Structure 1
């Protein structure tokens, strides 16, 4: 773990079981499991797993599992995951099981988690250059506005009876399908992203802007 990640773990190790439950917004019985995980991370006995195999949110469940399990080179080289505990890590970066996000109620060095990580997040983008963001607002807000304005974001919408709509479930599923398609086609440019079709989604140039790609599908 990096020094910054270790500082978070050390801070959480000082919490009582009730404080830990409050920080995670869970019951104390569930907090006992997290307390044990924290102890194992500190002692160095916690097993590690490739990050992209450990996260199980809706977006991740819509990434082709065969691509993930094959340690795909495109995922290795082009995809990075944001974490409130580990910072920004490669898709296959080794991490321990943990329950932690930017809604976790805690501070480190007198700062909120978002403020604590902001410089590191911004610095990553400054070194990497152009970023295609599939982030939820929770994670985009960690970056400074100046850096966020550089992102190319992706929006997914469904069209029914001539009306366009979007909601979080549509977006999360489509992000996974979009990343799968980009991986399968080995896309290396924004223009090539515009040619992708996935789960009946098509690029809509009439709705898109320089910094946002919009894809729609009819239902």
Structure 2
């Protein structure tokens, strides 16, 4: 199982999809959050999200226009750096089917999404301090639910394994101590002047390329991950452990 995070960038223009769409597992909980967020006035929403007036107005309109039907498959709707590198629009029907089985998207609004789950336009990052009945932030709302659902899905696998391609902010929504499967972090670093650095934008693109590689090649063992060479990255066994695989490339 691969986890990545959702994206603020979204594209809801029509796009063909050769497979039928699905309904988010936590649709009822997403509606619960929307109902809660509709109570925010514009000033409170701006303070919560630290965004401009126009973006807060657009986000508020999205919450008030949130609908139970329609939308676009998540893997085709998200349009950030990682998703552009992932290139799901070029996937075959078999690739999309494999993604539906193996890829999960962490979302502040929807919790845990499958690639073909229909989503509505939204903005709600996992790190936001949205007070709810479970606590002071979205982690309190989602962590147990997401972890339990991942455990349920991983239990069906003959060799359960979770590959983390999500950002730190989103990966914290999974309780690693309660996860009943090995967890492998992936790091992408740039090498220059004798130093290794994580460059955020390049790491996002590399996560998307890695996700596409794992899906298209149907990788199902840890050793298969190390064959990834996308974007000029190469596996560094000298920097890696059983729980963290490091890939580097020369700095641009």
Asked if TM exceeds 0.5, the reply is: yes
**Unaligned ranges ≥5, structure 1:** none
User: 1:147 & 1:158 partners in 2: Cα distance?
Assistant: 33
Does residue 187 in structure 1 map to residue 219 in structure 2?
yes
Structure 1 residue 66: Cα displacement? 3.6
Deviations 1:68-100 (A, max 9, x none): 586722222211100011011102211101011
Number of equivalences:
217
Deviations 1:28-83 (A, max 9, x none): 333222222112215x46x4111112222221121124435867222222111000
* Structure 2 partner of 1:83: 107
**RMSD between superposed Cα atoms in Å:** 2.3
* Structure 2 partner of 1:4: 29
Query: 1:69–1:61: structure 2 CA closer, same or farther, 3 Å change rule?
Result: farther
Q: Secondary structure at the match of 2:187?
A: strand
**TM-score normalised to structure 2 length:** 0.77
Out of 34, 43, 50, the residue aligned to residue 73 of structure 2 is 50
State which drifts further: 116-125 or 13-22: 13-22
**TM-score normalised to structure 1 length:** 0.88
* Structure 2 partner of 1:137: 168
Q: Secondary structure at the match of 1:103?
A: coil
**Unaligned ranges ≥5, structure 2:** 1-25, 155-159
Query: 1:4–1:204: structure 2 CA closer, same or farther, 3 Å change rule?
Result: same
CA contact 2:190–2:199 (8 Å) conserved in 1: no
User: 2:54 & 2:100 partners in 1: Cα distance?
Assistant: 37
Query: 1:166–1:15: structure 2 CA closer, same or farther, 3 Å change rule?
Result: closer
State which drifts further: 158-167 or 16-25: 158-167
Out of 18, 31, 36, the residue aligned to residue 43 of structure 2 is 18
Does residue 96 in structure 1 map to residue 120 in structure 2?
yes
Greater RCO, CA 8 A, separation 6+: 2
Higher helix share: 1
